[in-house]
């Protein structure tokens, strides 16, 4: 992610907490009005689970003057690609992105439930 790019996760907070793109902010669909508070000087990448809903949201943002796009295939596709790159699916060397995105938040959620 570049400094000029902002990732916005449109999924529900509980789902977002289980894993998201590193550095992403969560603006769930029931709070869409918050999207218009995003900075106009950054490129906005919106994503949902499969990249379908986020296509429409990116279009709305573009109509409002934002430089916005949808992450093709959504979080699922990104997660599959990270898993392959991290060696979980026969990919190359691990860089830890997948662990930061999914494994660590899931473990922390389990630990907090046990307390």
Q: Residue 61 burial by CB count (10 A; 0-12/13-18/19+): exposed, middle or buried? A: buried
Residues near 39 by Cβ (< 8 Å), separated by ≥ 6? 6
Q: Angle CA(29)–CA(112)–CA(81) in degrees, nearest 5?
A: 55
> Catalytic site residue 48?
yes
Name the catalytic one among 18, 45, 48, 89: 48
Catalytic residues: 48
């Amino acid at each position: 992610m570049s400094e000029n790019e902002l990732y916005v996760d449109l999924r529900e907070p509980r789902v977002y907490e289980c894993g998201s793109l590193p550095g992403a902010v969560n603006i769930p669909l029931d709070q869409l009005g918050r999207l218009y508070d995003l900075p106009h000087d950054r490129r906005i990448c919106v994503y949902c689970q499969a990249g379908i809903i986020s296509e429409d949201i990116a279009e709305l943002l573009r109509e409002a003057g934002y430089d916005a796009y949808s992450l093709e295939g959504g979080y699922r596709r990104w997660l599959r690609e990270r898993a392959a790159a991290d060696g979980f699916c026969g990919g190359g060397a691990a860089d830890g992105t997948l662990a930061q995105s999914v494994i660590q938040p899931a473990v922390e959620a389990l630990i907090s439930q046990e307390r």
